[in-house]
Amino acid sequence: MIPASLLKVVLPGEVYPFCLGEKHSGGGFAAASRGNTEYKKTWEAGVVFDAHIHLEQYDNLDERIKRWREAGVKQVTAVSNDLASSYRTLEIKERYPDVVRAGCGFHPEQPLPETSEWEEWKCLVKLEREHIACIGEIGLPHYELDYLPSPLEAYEEFLAECLLVARELKLPAALHAVHDKAELAFDILRREAPAVPAHFHWLKAPEDVVARITKAGYMVSVTPEVCYRERDQRLAAAVPPDRLLVETDGPWPFQGPFAGMETTPELLHDVIATLAGITGEKEADLAARTQKNAERMYGGM
């Protein structure tokens, strides 16, 4: 997800500038706009774990989390974009300790942090280690690379530093690394911190790179885009069952059947239904498996 500070206001039907050239298929599995009642009824047979969401960007969390839990959302991994959002995410974790798995990091699609911010962040994650589930969101820029003040090489060095923190604290990494940056991030991970568990969130990469990532034991997740993009459906079919996670990357908005809808973990109902159609599994079984995978990655209550 692109940090909120970099987003422009987008009207329904518009295309985000970061997604130009990535056409939506418009086909595949479709989902109707559903109300909370139907979601709750559907999920009585199982629960789901949103493996990647920017929770600190939502308002009215008391009301939202109550509704999400009633809809079968057991836990979420809440990632951060910078020092300030790392503090906010940890505050949310303190308020909802049985729901939130907290991640602290610096999103790569933005300028690198100042040295003082980096040093304070390192002190923060060491001090709050027992309350943190991962270092993230970290990775390499792709969509904003041409507009950032630092070259890609500087981001490669910074990713290596973040991974060393993850290694020192024995924490997994939540990675933003897409297209040609996925293999580059994979190589940095293997070189600098091969023992650090990693989650390549909302992965977009060539098939051979996906195979390398999953063969190495890393997790891969799909978003609601899997409900309407053939590319994401092919990815889901290629990921081994014990490596697949589901996420919303909320509040990032989606197109297709979700155009104009707010992104919340409740959309994972449609993700699970689509994946069940791909794998042939029962929805409740697939939800339980992805939940188990997420708990193995980020811990569970």
pLDDT in tens, 111-153: 999 999 999 999 999 999 999 999 999 999 999 999 999 999 9
Is residue 8, in this structure, part of any structural domain at all?
no
Backbone angles phi, psi at 196, to 5 degrees: -80, 120
Residues of the binding site: 52, 54, 137, 176, 201, 249
How confident is the model at residue 74, as a pLDDT? 93
pTM of the model: 0.87
Q: Which two tokens stand for residue 88?
A: 């906010």
Is residue 282, in this structure, part of any structural domain at all?
yes
E strand or H helix that includes residue 279: helix 268-279
Is residue 16, in this structure, part of any structural domain at all?
no
Tell me the chain's radius of gyration from C-alpha atoms: 18
Distance CA 218, CA 178 (A): 15
How confident is the model at residue 176, as a pLDDT? 98
Reduced to 3 states (helix: H, G, I; strand: E, B; else coil), residue 246 is strand
Place of tokens 């940056």: 181
The mean per-residue pLDDT over the stretch 47-56 comes to: 96
Would you tell me how many other CB atoms lie within 10 Å of the CB of residue 208?
Answer: 9
Distance CA 32, CA 20 (A): 26
Is residue 15, in this structure, part of any structural domain at all?
no
Number of structural domains found in the chain: 1
Pairing of strands 73-78, 100-104: parallel
Q: Is 87 exposed, middle or buried (0-12, 13-18, 19+ CB in 10 A)?
A: middle
> What are the beta bridge partners of residue 138?
175
Instruction: Reply yes or no on whether the pLDDT at 23 is more than 80.
Output: no
155 or 33, which is more confident?
155
- Contact in structure between 70 and 35 (CB atoms under 8 Å): no
Is residue 75, in this structure, part of any structural domain at all?
yes
How confident is the model at residue 46, as a pLDDT? 63
Instruction: Reply yes or no on whether the pLDDT at 170 is more than 60.
Output: yes
Is residue 179, in this structure, part of any structural domain at all?
yes
How confident is the model at residue 86, as a pLDDT? 98
Place of tokens 């079984």: 285
- Contact in structure between 22 and 255 (CB atoms under 8 Å): no
Instruction: Reply yes or no on whether the pLDDT at 33 is more than 50.
Output: no
How confident is the model at residue 47, as a pLDDT? 86
98 or 16, which is more confident?
98
Query: In terms of residue numbers, what domain contains 38?
Result: 28-298
In the chain, the percentage of residues whose pLDDT exceeds 70 is: 84
C-alpha distances (whole Å) from 224 to each of 52, 185, 194, 229 are: 12, 24, 30, 9
1-10, 40-49, 179-188: which has the highest mean pLDDT? 179-188
The mean per-residue pLDDT over the stretch 170-192 comes to: 98
How confident is the model at residue 299, as a pLDDT? 87
Residues of the binding site for a divalent metal cation: 52, 54, 137, 176, 201, 249
CATH of the domain at 285: 3.20.20.140
Instruction: Reply yes or no on whether the pLDDT at 223 is more than 70.
Output: yes
Is residue 17, in this structure, part of any structural domain at all?
no
The mean per-residue pLDDT over the stretch 248-271 comes to: 97
For 53-96, write each residue's pLDDT tens digit.
999 999 999 999 999 999 999 999 999 999 999 999 999 999 99
Distance CA 44, CA 38 (A): 10
Is residue 133, in this structure, part of any structural domain at all?
yes
